[in-house]
Amino acid sequence: MNPWSILGIRATGDEREIKRAYAARLKVTRPEDDPQAFQELRDAYEAVLKMARFANEHGAQFDDEEVEDAQPVYVAAYEWDPEPDLESDLEMPAPQQYVAAWEFEPVAPMTEARRIWAEFLTAAHRDTALQLRQLEARPDFLDLEVRECFELCAVQYCAGEGCDDAFRMALAEHFQWESNYAFIYREMPEETAQMMGRLHDYRHAE
């Protein structure tokens, strides 16, 4: 099955549409319930996002073909937002969602990402690869906005001269920064340039 079918959408260069489809699939594909399906979903999301960004950067067009074997994702009526705002819908509940006042505490994605980053750093230098695998399984890391903000925290840290080279390399390989740095460069151009330069120096010094 091709990655577009896993997400249940046509091939497109619209990153917002891809993110919406991924968020919808996450509602019914959890790592604790079906690790293999979750990994397939995550791999498909990363693959189509790369294809979309490459197409946008090079002016390529996708063929308008139907997605084969796509299964609709069931979403309860009270959870449905016909046109979600990806920039703000994680900071406040949608009007259709019934959430008790005492259960809801809005947390900005960057605030949540910084909290996760601080926890991650306490043990990350001992076995970085293991800590990154455990990080991917955390429920609070499934939020796409939080994950992207976490990457920005990591880039800022790895850009510093005091960051351990092996640690910087482990994060770069995990997040595939050397092969796909469009997002982090767009958000943090100076820090990304510094980090990539340090990675380059470290690789050539080995």
Residue 60 CA to residue 56 CA, distance in Å, equals 7
Kindly state the average pLDDT of the residues 22-33. 82
Q: What is the pLDDT of residue 155?
A: 93
The answer to whether 131 and 120 have CB atoms below 8 angstroms apart is yes
Answer whether residue 104 shows pLDDT above 80.
Answer: no
Which of 103-112, 128-137, 157-166 is the least confident region?
103-112
pLDDT in tens, 52-74: 887 788 776 765 544 444 444 44
Residue 162 domain boundaries:
109-205
Q: What is the pLDDT of residue 84?
A: 43
In the structure, what pLDDT confidence band is assigned to residue 204 with cuts at 50, 70 and 90?
Answer: confident
Residue-averaged pLDDT of the chain: 77
113 and 67 within one domain: no
126 and 193 within one domain: yes
Between 92 and 189, name the one with better pLDDT: 189
Answer whether residue 102 shows pLDDT above 80.
Answer: no
Answer whether residue 45 shows pLDDT above 80.
Answer: yes
Answer whether residue 180 shows pLDDT above 70.
Answer: yes
Residue 102 backbone phi and psi in degrees, to 5 = -80, -10
**Which amino acid type is present at position 82?**
P
The residue out of 74, 95, 129 marking a domain boundary is 74
The answer to whether 73 and 20 have CB atoms below 8 angstroms apart is no
Residue 83 lies in a domain: no
Q: What is the pLDDT of residue 151?
A: 92
The residue out of 18, 52, 74 marking a domain boundary is 74
Residue 103 lies in a domain: no
**Which amino acid type is present at position 102?**
W
Residue 98 lies in a domain: no
Between 160 and 77, name the one with better pLDDT: 160
The residue out of 48, 74, 100 marking a domain boundary is 74
Q: How many structural domains are present in the chain?
A: 2
CB-based burial label for 50 (10 Å; 0-12, 13-18, 19+): middle
Answer whether residue 93 shows pLDDT above 50.
Answer: no
Residue 141 lies in a domain: yes
Residue 99 lies in a domain: no
Q: What is the pLDDT of residue 107?
A: 63
In the structure, what pLDDT confidence band is assigned to residue 29 with cuts at 50, 70 and 90?
Answer: confident
